[in-house]
């Protein structure tokens, strides 16, 4: 969920993960990414709330993500694998 803290109300809810979300990062001015114990990474359009892409090659929970530059996302999970993704 995305909240407006000043007005204490929910602005948007991003739905798509089926289990715990471990981390969320900003990719660009309109894109954010989240990683989850459902073994996936989701890329969202922050403005519209729509799911842009789902990355599902990890075989166990994805614990961390980070952005290396404008188009490379790295992820690490409980499957002991670090992956690099062109986004």
pLDDT(1) > 70: no
pLDDT in the model for residue 43:
96
Domain, as residue range, for 44: 2-86
pLDDT in the model for residue 47:
86
pLDDT tens digits for 10-63?
777 788 898 999 999 999 999 999 999 999 999 999 888 899 999 999 999 999
CATH of the domain at 67: 2.40.10
Q: Which long-range contacts (CB under 8 A, 24 or more apart) does 16-23 make?
A: 16/42, 16/44, 16/51, 16/54, 17/42, 19/61, 20/61, 22/61, 22/62, 22/63, 22/64, 23/63, 23/64, 23/65
DSSP state of 14: -
Q: Which residue has the higher pLDDT, 76 or 11?
A: 76
pLDDT in the model for residue 71:
86
pLDDT in the model for residue 63:
97
Domain count along the chain:
1
């Amino acid at each position: 969920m995305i909240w407006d803290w000043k007005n204490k109300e929910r602005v948007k809810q991003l739905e798509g993960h089926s289990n715990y979300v471990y981390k969320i990062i900003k990719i660009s001015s309109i894109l954010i990414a989240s990683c989850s114990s459902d073994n996936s990474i989701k890329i969202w359009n922050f403005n519209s709330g729509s799911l842009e892409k789902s990355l599902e090659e990890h075989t166990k929970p994805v614990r961390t993500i980070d952005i290396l530059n404008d188009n490379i996302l790295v992820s690490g999970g409980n499957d002991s694998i670090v992956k690099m993704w062109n986004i």
